[in-house]
Structure 1
Amino acid sequence: MLYVLRRVLAAVFVMWAAFTVTFIILYLVPGDPALLIVGGDGGVQATPEELAAVRAEYGFDQPVIVQYFQALGGVLTGNLGMSYQMRQPVTELIGAQFGSTFALAMFALVVAVVAGLVIGGAAVYTKSRILSQLLDSLPPIGASLPTFWVGLVLMQVFCFQLGWFPSAGDRGFDSLVLPGITMAIPGAASIAQVFAKSLRASSRDDYVTVATAKGASRMRVFIGHAARNALLPTITVAGMIVAGLFAYSAITESIFSRAGLGMALDNAVQAKDIPMVSGIVLVIAAVFVVTNLIVDLVYPIIDPRLRRPGASKAVRLQRGLVEA
């Protein structure tokens, strides 16, 4: 019960911190949102009286601390406010864009997990030293490649030269492939590195030696013992990647002209649309919180030792989380 309470309080803190930091950063960004609300993107000249009326309507004339608590109060009651730029409720705008980004992020996650496990597992399982070194070199390369560069290269080759996939828009599964691979490469690199390292550590444990001595095949020992325990820290990394996919979708969606939360966030930041930015950041923070909760629930299924009421800190360290 105490563990659940701590997780809930941590989730609440993460959501509050995400909202507060976003509000402060946007408040410090130069620019007057009242100008956008009055003039829009057409460059309409607003009179001082019109600007004053807008500032009074939206509370821009109030001290920043008052604006903060008004915005926070709206969030606590489920009201994320009106978008300054689109003049629509933020909840409706986010709801319209969430599905596209969610599909892209989940596709990228599947690609990242499968590619990371295959590369990391093959690097440890193979008996060829050259092949093992080659596979071990792939994750650092993948992690160092700029996302925008990868996206442009994939677009040039597979869209413009080969014509296999569409270069822009959301036209079903075909439109997911290239942006999904673009987003998946950094995550796959992280998963491969962690999984390979954990596999090598698990392969040296006593239970692997015992299983081998009892006559178990190399494949059975590798999958049933070493790989199963190596998945614990790997799942932690995969959980962290999920929120990152939503956060980094802005670059990929911009490259492939794909509507979603990422592109909406990019546009809202440029327009200093505080309610829209805060709403999207809260959604990303909520994804992070929910994902970590799911990861916590999956751990005991993989490692039965975590089901014990007095699970030791050493066991929790093995899963990749250090709890105070």
Structure 2
Amino acid sequence: MASTVASAVGMLWAAMTLAFLAIHLAPGDAVSAVMGEASNPDLRAKVEQDWGLDQPLIVQYGRYLGKLLRGDLGYSYVRGESVSDIVFGDQMISTAKLAGVALVIVVVVAPLLAVLTAGRRGPVAAGVSGLELGVASAPTFWVGLVLIWVFAFTLRVLPVTSGTELQRLVLPGLTLALPIAAVLAQVMRGGIERALEQPFAVSARARGIGALRLTAGHGLRHSLIPAATLAGWAVSSLLTGTVVVEEVFGRAGLGSATVEAVTYKDLPVVLAVALLTATVYLVVTVVVDLAYLWIDPRLREAR
């Protein structure tokens, strides 16, 4: 347990440090990004002093670490607000809603596609597989634009900016979820097909268990282990995908706040988002490790 906590703290420190170095090594500086290159030199010097940017990099890094250990994430250079209010306020709630809707779609669509097409041959199965490959390979913004064109402009069944909050979440949620669901469906289908070749599946067929029941009741469970292995990637895709999706659909959230922070080199906000992302990734990793024990009871005996 102690080693797990130490490893988690080390990863959070590494994520924060890399983000700190990356934003400082990027071209330009925060003062110029906010005030412009032609700003008054005296005013620039005053702002740099107020923000602590006149100090050596190692001193800035040490000060930030000290504040972080006290739970102080600082203030945004651009908005002048507490970073905690920006990252953990309405922005986070909006992004959490979008990620939650996308997660529900992934959990429903990926297993459904895998079960319905596992072991099948023919044009339908080939068409579904080709569609999955196309969606998984397409840029997220392109998927969003296609969905807007089809469902909002052509069929006029889903709004982009009007309607209720749930209606406005459907298209962004689909945009975020479909590429992830396509990859997971392919992985789960492969797991199901391998499971159906095992001796237990042959025995089950001999007892008269139907194909759909065998696939959904037994094959699907065996496909969860390779799918769970990709859980970290899926969560990372959800988090990074919100940046693009929120820009495409004009939604406020952590994604749009991150784009603004990176554009203006708003270091406190960038670091807070990096820490939040790393924390979520670590939590998901721990949950997946525990889920392995439920999926495959043999792993409990191994421990």
- Look up the match of 1:17: 14
| Whole-angstrom distance in 1 between the partners of 2:7 and 2:287 | 14
Instruction: Point out the more displaced range, 60-69 or 5-14.
Output: 5-14
1:29–1:150 distance in 2 versus 1, CA, 3 Å: same
Identity within the alignment, %: 38
- Look up the match of 1:235: 228
Q: Is the 8 A contact 1:169 1:258 kept in 2?
A: no
- Look up the match of 1:299: 292
Alpha-carbon displacement from aligned partner over 1:6-43 (angstroms, at most 9, x marks no partner)? 43333223212221111111001122223456x3xxx5
Count of residues in correspondence between the two structures: 302
- Look up the match of 2:110: 116
* 92, 103, 109: which one aligns with 2:97: 103
* 179, 200, 203: which one aligns with 1:207: 200
**What's the CA shift for 1:133?**
2.3
Q: Is the 8 A contact 1:169 1:257 kept in 2?
A: no
Unaligned runs of 5+ in 1: 312-324
- Look up the match of 1:150: 143
Check if 1:27 corresponds to 2:27: no
Alpha-carbon displacement from aligned partner over 1:208-238 (angstroms, at most 9, x marks no partner)? 2233334433333322322111111112323
| Whole-angstrom distance in 1 between the partners of 2:272 and 2:37 | 27
| Whole-angstrom distance in 2 between the partners of 1:210 and 1:103 | 44
Q: Tell me the TM-score normalised to structure 2 length.
A: 0.92
Runs of 4+ in 1 over 6 A off after TM superposition: none
* 185, 193, 196: which one aligns with 1:192: 185
Q: Tell me the TM-score normalised to structure 1 length.
A: 0.86
**What's the CA shift for 1:287?**
1.3
1:175–1:124 distance in 2 versus 1, CA, 3 Å: same
**What's the CA shift for 1:115?**
1.5
Unaligned runs of 5+ in 2: none
**Aligned-partner residue type, residue 87 of structure 1:** G
Instruction: Point out the more displaced range, 189-198 or 207-216.
Output: 207-216
Q: Is the 8 A contact 1:179 1:252 kept in 2?
A: yes
- Look up the match of 1:320: none
**Aligned-partner residue type, residue 18 of structure 1:** A
Q: 1:39-188 residue pairs with structure 2 within 5 A?
A: 39=35, 46-96=39-89, 97-126=91-120, 128-168=121-161, 171-188=164-181
| Whole-angstrom distance in 1 between the partners of 2:95 and 2:146 | 22
1:167–1:214 distance in 2 versus 1, CA, 3 Å: closer
Q: Is the 8 A contact 1:190 1:237 kept in 2?
A: no
| Whole-angstrom distance in 1 between the partners of 2:241 and 2:69 | 26
**What's the CA shift for 1:170?**
8.8
Check if 1:216 corresponds to 2:190: no
**What's the CA shift for 1:125?**
4.5
Q: Is the 8 A contact 1:242 1:288 kept in 2?
A: yes
**Aligned-partner residue type, residue 196 of structure 2:** S
SS of 2:217's partner is helix
Backbone CA RMSD of aligned residues: 2.1
Instruction: Point out the more displaced range, 220-229 or 62-71.
Output: 220-229
1:303–1:159 distance in 2 versus 1, CA, 3 Å: same
**Aligned-partner residue type, residue 115 of structure 1:** V
Instruction: Point out the more displaced range, 253-262 or 12-21.
Output: 12-21
SS of 1:235's partner is helix
SS of 2:118's partner is helix
